């Protein structure tokens, strides 16, 4: 078996021809990598919306626990947009509505995000059982909102 075609001058010529192409392709991949991650960061770090339908989310988020009474005036607007909230992820809900006032774990890795709609004993001590009106968002095991209910207290 003769390997004359793999002699040193031949290998130098092949290397001289492929090195610039290889450097260009690495630069191209690097630029796409930077472009991809910068767009992910830009989209992921965008500010939460100020409004969905007629629901003023800024007012909703600032009335933590419903203790200032602002959420009571927003109940009808919330009911109008609750179908839009179904199917959203728990992360999206956290951005849109703010951190939940209370969180409960349920069976089969489901959980409830609870937002109080009116002032009650929970404003003084969050651990106290309360009968204040609230809205509960059921979040499935895969992290999506499946049900939104209104009740007194926690579910």
- For 77-136, the pLDDT digits (tens) are 999 999 999 999 999 999 999 999 999 998 888 999 999 999 999 999 888 888 999 999
List, for residues 78-95, the tens digit of each pLDDT value: 999 999 999 999 999 999
**Most trustworthy range by pLDDT among 33-37, 44-48, 88-92:** 88-92
Give the pLDDT confidence score for residue 38 in this predicted structure.
Answer: 67
Give the pLDDT confidence score for residue 132 in this predicted structure.
Answer: 93
* pTM, to two decimals: 0.70
CA–CA gap between residue 58 and residue 72 (Å, rounded)? 14
Q: What is the mean pLDDT of the chain?
A: 84
CA–CA gap between residue 64 and residue 151 (Å, rounded)? 18
């Amino acid at each position: 078996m003769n390997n004359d075609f793999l002699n040193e001058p031949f290998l130098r010529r092949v290397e001289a021809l492929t090195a610039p192409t290889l450097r260009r392709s690495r630069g191209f991949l690097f630029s796409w990598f930077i472009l991809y991650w910068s767009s992910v960061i830009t989209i992921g770090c965008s500010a939460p919306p100020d409004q969905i339908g007629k629901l003023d989310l800024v007012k909703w988020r600032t009335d933590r626990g419903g203790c200032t009474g602002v959420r009571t005036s927003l109940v009808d607007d919330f009911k109008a947009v609750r179908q839009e909230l179904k199917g959203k992820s728990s992360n999206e809900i956290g951005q849109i509505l703010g951190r939940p006032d209370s969180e409960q774990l349920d069976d089969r890795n489901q959980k409830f995000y609870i937002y109080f709609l009116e002032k009650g004993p929970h404003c003084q001590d969050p651990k106290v059982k309360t009968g204040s009106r609230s809205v509960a968002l059921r979040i499935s095991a895969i992290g999506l909102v499946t049900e939104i209910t209104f009740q007194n207290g926690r579910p």
